[in-house]
Amino acid sequence: MQTDIDPRSLIGRKAYDRDGHKIGTVDEVYLDDATGVPEWAAVRTGLFSRDAFVPLAPSTYRNETLHVPYERALIKGAPDFGVGRHLSPDQEVQLYHHYQLDLPEPAAPETPPRRPDRDFGHVAGHDNPSPSGD
């Protein structure tokens, strides 16, 4: 998805499937925990329906509408986690599998700064310790 779009501007916008059929209205946008980039949108699929999570990365935003490159049946069949709560890593994996998307590479852990070597040699008088521990 375009990265210059404000995720708040998606709320309340109509969403359409790959064939141009209306899916529903965007209720919420979920950001990636590590990067803060918009990753998922929850789309209300009908007046009394649930929200379906759709991936934003392959989607486009044009003419003030969200266009999701999947068919409506697949979108409506996405796992239901409810809205208004944080998506757990396991839930995100389920969504990636549902849409047959490659899982993102895990962020490389930061390597701690290398500490200077603190081994200054043997303690005086203990240069050759005896095997008996004397």
Task: Give the pLDDT confidence score for residue 128 in this predicted structure.
Answer: 58
Decide: pTM greater than 0.85.
no
Task: Give me 87's structure tokens.
Answer: 């998506």
pLDDT score of 51 more than 70: yes
Tokens of 61: 């935003």
- Of residues 109 and 120, which shows the higher confidence score? 109
Which of 37, 32, 50 has the alpha carbon at shortest distance from 92?
A: 32
Report which of residues 2 and 38 the model is more confident about: 38
Rounded mean pLDDT, 19-34: 92
The amino acid occupying position 21 is: H
What pLDDT is recorded for position 93?
A: 93
What average pLDDT does the segment 4-28 reach? Answer: 90
